Amino acid sequence: MKTSAMRVVEKMFAAFESGDIEKFVETVSDDTLWIYHGTQIIPKGVFEKKEGVRTFFNNIIDKTEIISFEPQQFIVEGNMVVVLGQEHQRAKRSGKELKQKWVQIYTVENDLITRMEEFATSEEVN
């Protein structure tokens, strides 16, 4: 049986994969905090509230073409969902391709994501 927290994270991923920013932002709380620790190539960032999450989403969509996005394993503990995954993307500006492995940790309260923290590693592939 899926937990409420898991359903919220899956809904957020579905919105991301479809490119629907409004549905994506609907899955987060007004005071959400997203922390991206950065990679060897992508700089770190902290994104606060719905507008910060909108910026996080737009940075990805505006700057890259997603070739593949694969959440591979979900670990659920109470209101926390840990997701292990990988992605492959192409920078729109340079055409360079990037492969990335990541761990994302979501905290869900009242059926909204209140916090996301991502740890990732990346490499250029062409």
12-28 pLDDT, tens digit each: 999 999 989 999 999 99
| Cβ atoms 82, 75 nearer than 8 A | yes
Q: What is the mean pLDDT of residues 88-96?
A: 91
What integer pLDDT is reported at residue 116 of this predicted model?
Answer: 98
For residues 21 and 58, give the distance between their C-alpha atoms in angstroms, rounded to a whole number. 8
Task: Return the sign of the alpha-carbon dihedral for residues 68, 77, 51, 21.
Answer: positive
Domain edges within the chain: 4-124
| Cβ atoms 12, 113 nearer than 8 A | yes
Q: Which CATH architecture has domain 4-124?
A: Roll (3.10)
pTM of the full structure: 0.92
| Cβ atoms 103, 118 nearer than 8 A | yes
